[in-house]
Amino acid sequence: MPVGYSIYVERPSLIHQRIDPRTKLAALGAVFVLALAFNHPAVLGGILVLVLLAAQLAQLSWRSLLPAMVGSLWFLVLSLLIWPFYVKGGPSLFILFGSTISVNGVLFGLAMGLRVALMVLAAGVWMMTTSPQKLTVGLLRLGLPYKAGVAMTAAIRFVPLLNAERITITEAQQARALDLKRENPFNRAVKSIAIIGPLFVRSIDVAQSLALALEARGFAARDGRTSIVQIGMTTTDRIILIALAAACLLAIGLRILGIGLITRAYL
């Protein structure tokens, strides 16, 4: 059996089980605000450590965080290569291609890399700790139209399903002597049709049967419906929400005062 693929990781942690999906969504938003409010690598690094602590509290393994971290590393390298040519100030380090590279430039490059890492990691931790069903219920309570909610859950549900289909199709075509690795890029693109074609047909098939199955079970017979997943705000949620709001206000205040910044010239 081909193994499916799902981002959400079930864990018996406080963050997984006790905290309302709406709170977690707010926390993700707050991390984004904080990441954009500061551009000093020390501050952003500090927030990154907080996100990693949250991941530990959620009992996520380091290994599961690795893809997000490796992905952000590229941005870190790229930003360290580009920003020093634009941001000046502070003691000069050396001259490269006729441009003076200064401490501030390097620090800002580091900060921008950390900012991307922070956002990617926070989004990753959020997806790994929030089950799609609970998230949908949360969004419905926030006023998302019901059908849109189902469409969203179905879309998330489709990812592992279609991945399994892709694996099967690839195997079936390999058994017909399709060897993409040995082809030049042009032929590889042309021959990929042997995998993309059946994948499209299968996804349309699956979507159609899902639509029929939903209708057969009374989908949209009435507006709104009950849900087997129950969510609710607790005191913990309220405390977290107040803390998040305070942190965001503080960050915006500090930004206006110019604290925690390398330069005011860039976001």
Q: How far is CA 232 from the centre of its chain?
A: 24
Asked if residue 187 binds another protein (CB under 8 A), the reply is: no
Asked if residue 81 binds another protein (CB under 8 A), the reply is: no
DSSP string for 135-167: HHHHHHHTT--HHHHHHHHHHHHHHHHHHHHHH
Long-range contacts of 83-91 (CB under 8 A, 24+ apart): 83/108, 83/109, 83/112, 84/108, 84/109, 87/262, 87/263, 87/265, 87/266, 89/262, 89/263
- Residues within window 201-230 making contact with another protein, judged by CB under 8 A: 201-202, 205
Q: Which helix (H) or strand (E) holds 95?
A: strand 92-96
Looking at the Cβ atoms of 26 and 199, the one nearer to another protein is 199
Asked if residue 120 binds another protein (CB under 8 A), the reply is: no
* Closest C-alpha among 260, 264, 263, 267 to residue 47: 260
Asked if residue 84 binds another protein (CB under 8 A), the reply is: no
Among 193, 242, 246, 267, binds another protein (CB under 8 A): 193
Binding letters toward another protein, positions 132-171, x by CB under 8 A: ---------------------------------x--xx-x
Size of the site for another protein (CB under 8 A): 25
Query: Residue 120 Cβ, how far from another protein at the closest point, in Å?
Result: 27
- Binding region for another protein (CB under 8 A): 1, 3, 165, 168-169, 171-179, 181-182, 193-198, 201-202, 205
